[in-house]
Amino acid sequence: MFLTKEIEKRRTFGIISHPDAGKTTLTEKLLLFGGAIQVAGAVKSNKIKRHATSDFMEIERQRGISVATSVMAFDYCGKRINILDTPGHQDFAEDTYRTLTAVDSAIVVIDVAKGVEPQTEKLVNVCKDRNTPMIVFINKLDREGLDGFELLDEIEEKLDMKVCPLSWPVGMGQRLKGVYNIFERKLNLFRPHGKQEDEDTIVISDLNSDELEHHLGEKEADELRSELEIIETVYPTLDIEKYRAGKLNPVFFGSAINNFGVKELLDCFISIAPGPLARQTDSRTVEPTEKNFSGFVFKIHANMDPRHRDRIAFLRICSGKFERNVNYQHVRLGRQMRFSNPTAFMAEKKSIVDEAFPGDIIGLYDSGNFKIGDTLTEGESIKFVGIPNFSPEQFRYVVNKDPMKTKQLDKGLDQLMDEGVAQLFTKLDNNRKIIGTVGALQFEVIQYRLEHEYGAKCDYEPVSIYKACWINSKDKEKLREFELRRKNNLAYDKKGQLVFLAESQWALQRVQEAHPEIEFLFKSEI
């Protein structure tokens, strides 16, 4: 009973956006509502500043700060809300993809002037793969941007979403008068800089009343009425079940920096967003309400500071109750482990927790026992599935610069890959090792860490690869034949799965056409 109550309280979600759309600002405003922070600006340190992108040590320093804000928990209206931070920096996109496996829903922030941007598309697709429910927040209404209907069209087209507007802007930029909250039938009048007072929110139960004219002016009131009429005819009304199944996406408009439209978003979120969901393992579905504890590691953060070489493994609790100093089964290693200082994250503060519940994220100090995807249970041998490995976008040969340190290099590479820093492929024809990453920065990080943590030195050589595709076929004979014929382009990943290294999009297309019986996949399971 107690467990069910705790589970029902939890809402665990991530905010996703293209960099600069306003994710950090929105996060901060949500935390202010929850009373988790007192002043604006507290979350800013979490953001990797654009000017620092060429200096990876500076980025790592900032990432160090961001450990504290990796998960931000706060209480609001009787709910415990866990916001999982998703790095906006393109080079850490893999971190973001994996973090999205630990959420139950997401909020997508879109810049009203820029519309749907490339990173938005990528992240939304990752959520769609898992049918994650998403609410869209169109931000920066205080600036001139695209027309509301144009934006909805773009979202439907580019993100393949079925949208359902729950609020609608009256004007935009300099002419922004307010937002009509369709969900609650209220008109919110806009005042810049977050000085939203109660009297700025007016209940409009009858859209035909001249109260609209009184607050907005004749032209705007008329426009709003006719736009709402279009919305009513064109777009579906809110169906919570469809939203929760990932088949309908509510849309809100606002301006995060002005704290405008944010409360409406939060209030709707807590009333419709799903609580902790059941999760799939290799043998069965685990329900959050099960008595026995289970959870999985979705992120590992290594400290680059040489004085504190510890790592933190982030664990999502999936079922039961986690308790401090109790023995749990590390399924992959087949042994018991207990944790004396599991950490919870409350906005800026980290604290040791005695217990945690489904939906919660805790940090476990680790000296190298964990890798991404590891499962902890009370004894059952299960593994949570669905944590993706995507095809990297940049590839380089690794060259051992100090043959006396081969063992150290191998060990270092092995552990860094387990942390999810990059992916390692071993060529079939010559056993050479290739590192694949999402961003160029990771190559420097690996080089630096190999030297400082493992005493090994490496260099890189260019290799012309466009994509790595995991291959498979129902016809094992054909697969064998393919393996023999294409040996020069094949490699094993860390799990020993066959990967085709395509030199160009054109080359990939040709090989696909020549071998229709072979499946080429851009993603695999960790």
- Counting contacts by CB under 6 A, is residue 59 touching ligand G4P? no
Residue 22 binds ligand G4P (CB under 6 A): yes
Options 20, 153, 156, 184; binder of ligand G4P; rule CB under 6 A: 20
Amino acid at 369: N
Q: Which two tokens stand for residue 520?
A: 């080429």
Is 25 an interacting residue with respect to ligand G4P (CB under 6 A)? yes
Query: Of 60, 85, 94, 142, which one interacts with ligand G4P (CB under 6 A)?
Result: 142
Q: What are phi and psi of 52, to 5 degrees?
A: -95, 5
Residues 314-353 as x/- pattern, contact with ligand G4P by CB under 6 A:
----------------------------------------
User: What does the alpha-carbon distance between residue 526 and residue 524 come to, in Å, rounded to a whole number?
Assistant: 7
- 371 three-class SS: coil
Q: How far is the CB of 139 from ligand G4P (least distance, A)?
A: 5
Phi/psi zone of residue 357: left (φ > 0), alpha (ψ -120 to 50 degrees), beta? beta
What is the size of the binding site for ligand G4P (CB under 6 A)? 18
Query: Cβ closer to ligand G4P: 35 or 192?
Result: 192
**Nearest distance from residue 212's CB to ligand G4P, in Å?**
24
Residue 199's Cβ-count burial label (10 Å; 0-12, 13-18, 19+) is: exposed
Interaction pattern, residues 246-275, with ligand G4P; x per rule: CB under 6 A? ---------xxxx-----------------
Nearest distance in Å: CB 479, ligand G4P: 43
The least CB distance from residue 204 to ligand G4P, in Å, is 24
**Interface residues for ligand G4P in 147-166 (CB under 6 A)?**
none
Query: Contact with ligand G4P (CB under 6 A): which of 8, 19, 45, 350?
Result: 19
User: Could you tell me which residues are beta bridge partners of residue 351?
Assistant: 344
Element (H or E) spanning 222, and its range?
helix 218-234
Q: Is position 29 an interface residue for ligand G4P (rule: CB under 6 A)?
A: no
Query: Using the rule CB under 6 A, is 176 a contact of ligand G4P?
Result: no
User: Mind spelling out the 3-state secondary structure of 63-111?
Assistant: HHHHHHCCEEEEEECCEEEEEECCCCCHHHHHHHHHHHHHCCEEEEEEE
- Within 37-56, the residues that bind ligand G4P by CB under 6 A are 47
Q: Does 24 bind ligand G4P (CB under 6 A)?
A: yes
Q: What is the CA radius of gyration of the chain?
A: 25
Does the protein bind ligand G4P through residue 140 (CB under 6 A)? yes
Single residue of 70, 101, 139, 400 touching ligand G4P by CB under 6 A = 139
In whole angstroms, give the CA distance from residue 232 to residue 221. Answer: 16
Query: Alpha-carbon distance 355 to 2, whole Å?
Result: 13
Region of 136-144, 314-322, 350-358, 383-391 interacting with ligand G4P (CB under 6 A) = 136-144
Considering only the stretches 15-23, 160-168, 187-195, 240-248, report the one whose residues sit in contact with ligand G4P under the rule CB under 6 A.
Answer: 15-23
Cα angle at 43 between 121 and 298, to 5 degrees? 55
Q: Which two tokens stand for residue 504?
A: 């160009």
The answer to whether residues 324 and 353 touch, using CB atoms and an 8 Å cutoff, is yes
Site for ligand G4P in 73-92 (CB under 6 A): 88
- In this structure, the chain runs to a length of 526
Full strand arrangement of the beta sheet holding 349-352 = 335-337, 328-330, 375-377, 294-302, 311-319, 361-366, 343-346, 349-352
CA–CA distance, 153 with 135 (Å, rounded to integer): 16
Q: How far is the CB of 191 from ligand G4P (least distance, A)?
A: 13
**Crossing angle, helix 406-418 and helix 441-454, to 10 degrees?**
130
Q: Which one, 134 or 212, has the nearer CB to ligand G4P?
A: 134
Alpha helices by DSSP H, 324-378: none
Closest to ligand G4P by CB, 257 vs 353, is 257
- Cβ atoms of 355 and 321 closer than 8 Å: yes
Q: Which is nearer to ligand G4P, 108 or 502 (CB)?
A: 108
Provide, rounded to whole angstroms, the least separation between the CB of residue 19 and ligand G4P: 4
Q: Is 14 in the site for ligand G4P (CB under 6 A)?
A: no
Interface positions with ligand G4P (CB under 6 A): 17, 19-25, 47, 88, 139-140, 142-143, 255-258
